[in-house]
Amino acid sequence: MNDRDEIGVFLGLDVGKTAHLGHGLTPAGKKVFDKQLPNTEPKLRAVFDKLRDKFGTVLVIVDQPASIGALPLTVARDAGCTVAYLPGLSMRRIADLYPGEAKTDARDAAVIADAARTMPHTLRSLEVTDEITAELTVLTGFDQDLAAEATRTSNRIRGLLTQFHPSLERVLGPRPDHQAVTWLLERYGSPAALRKAGRRRLVELIRPKAPRMATRLIDDVFDALNEQTVVVPGTGTLDIVIPSLARSLGAVHDQRRATETQISALLEQHPLSKVLTSLPGVAVRTAATLLVTVGDGTSFPSAAHLASYAGLAPTTKSSGTSIHGEHAPRGGNRVLKRAMFLSAFAALHDPASRTYYDKCRARGKTHTQALLRLARQRINVLFAMLRNGTFYKPRTPRLT
């Protein structure tokens, strides 16, 4: 980023879907721009060029660098402007220092511009996003949407089975995502269809998809079928609905597998790929999520800042002498928090991680609390790995 003394105008943008509110200030604080900018390249470029010709170096600052803020930042760079990012949390804290309580786009744009002018240390630089990270951002977002759709469809299947045949749901419900179970439900969606197909035929049909569990699964299915002799009204509709839902679920999983292959291919080209995947519990999807949410870690002054951003700084609720249980803050980046929490669970096979987890449990922590603490400790490790560009080295973290 250019030195502050070289900046001719600080242009704060409160970005929107169709238009952005721009507020420009000179280094002395004189307002030189206060207008709405349509979210189109020609209009944005015209404003940036005009300000640059008149004032020299233009620093464009936003509080949302991704999604709706992507086009103005890209055009600004192409027009020869410098760009920067004012984190949302800093934005809200700084806004409290300015008079007036009403939140408006014009006020936010003015706050962004003045914060950049008077408090440059609050800004984060925005380097040109490389093509790999940009593509990973889109693919990981798509994968998360697919995962949510898979969960919704699985829950719908389980709900129907519970309504009409609870015993069958107890067998198939916990694993509707298993390839063999999905295939089975696509072709035999009702208790009657399963009975008609027969035990021996079903075992042979699903054996290629589940060699070790085929016989046990079908035996469990028929034991469940034998537990219920009555037919709940409406059961006949399962022959239509369950196979349709199962086909949708299978298609979503096929899409997720294809997306994972694309993510993996992109990830291998990134220099931080092997660093991230060397951390136990971090596979392709998690590494991609970390890359698009944390980057190389340079945007965070310390591991504590990164933990706060992820919402993984455990807090306690207290009232007088009463101290209530440790819990994760509700704030933070939910995608990053989930990735770190699930990767901590997946890392329990790692001796160092398991030892730390067991020590937390021995101290009386619940399973969730222990995983939360482990995830927080892994933030320290991740931050150090990114800062130094080094692979993971096993070492049991100390309890605090």
For helices 367-388 and 334-346, angle between their N-to-C axes, nearest 10 degrees: 100
Sort strands 19-25 and 31-38 into parallel, antiparallel or unpaired.
antiparallel
Tell me if 332 sits within 8 A of 309, measured CB to CB: yes
pLDDT band at 320, cuts 50/70/90? Answer: low
pLDDT, tens digit (0-9, with 9 covering 90-100), for 63-98: 877 677 888 988 999 999 999 888 766 677 777 777
3-state helix vs strand vs coil in the chain, percent to 5: 60, 10, 30
Q: What local confidence, expressed as pLDDT, does residue 332 receive? A: 79
Task: State mean pLDDT over 370-382.
Answer: 94
User: Which pLDDT band, with edges at 50, 70 and 90, does 386 fall under?
Assistant: very high
φ and ψ of 317, to 5 deg: -100, 130
Nearest-angstrom CA–CA distance, 370 and 385: 23
For residues 373 and 365, the answer to whether their CB atoms sit within 8 Å is yes
Domain ranges (residues) in the chain: 4-128, 134-265, 273-388
What pLDDT does 240 receive?
Answer: 95
Confidence of residue 13 (pLDDT cuts 50, 70, 90): very high
**Angle formed at CA 114 by CA 113 and CA 120, multiple of 5 degrees:** 90
pLDDT for 325-364, tens place per residue? Answer: 555 566 778 899 999 999 999 999 999 999 999 999 999 9
3-class secondary structure, 45 = helix
Report helix, strand or coil for 323: strand
Which band of pLDDT confidence, cut at 50, 70 and 90, is reported for residue 5? low
Domain 4-128 has CATH 3.30.420.10: yes
What average pLDDT does the chain have? 88
In this predicted structure, the answer to whether residue 393 has a pLDDT above a threshold of 90 is no
Provide φ and ψ at 68, rounded to 5°.
Answer: -70, -15
What is the pLDDT, as a whole number, of residue 207? Answer: 95
pLDDT for 106 beyond 60:
yes
pLDDT tier for residue 301 given thresholds of 50, 70 and 90: confident
Q: Can you tell me the mean pLDDT for 115-138?
A: 79
Three-state secondary structure string covering 199-251: HHHHHHHHCCCCCCCHHHHHHHHHHHHHHCCCCCCCHHHHHHHHHHHHHHHHH
pLDDT of residue 171: 96
Rg over CA atoms, the chain:
27
Q: How far is CA 317 from CA 44, 267, 314, 325, 399, in A?
A: 48, 40, 10, 7, 20
Predicted TM-score (pTM) of this structure: 0.73
Question: Cα–Cα–Cα angle for 14, 18, 24, nearest 5°?
Answer: 30
pLDDT higher than threshold 70 for residue 251: yes
Q: What is the pLDDT of residue 70?
A: 83
Tell me: the pLDDT tens digits for 168-184? Answer: 999 999 988 899 999 99
* pLDDT given at position 315: 60
pLDDT of residue 371: 94
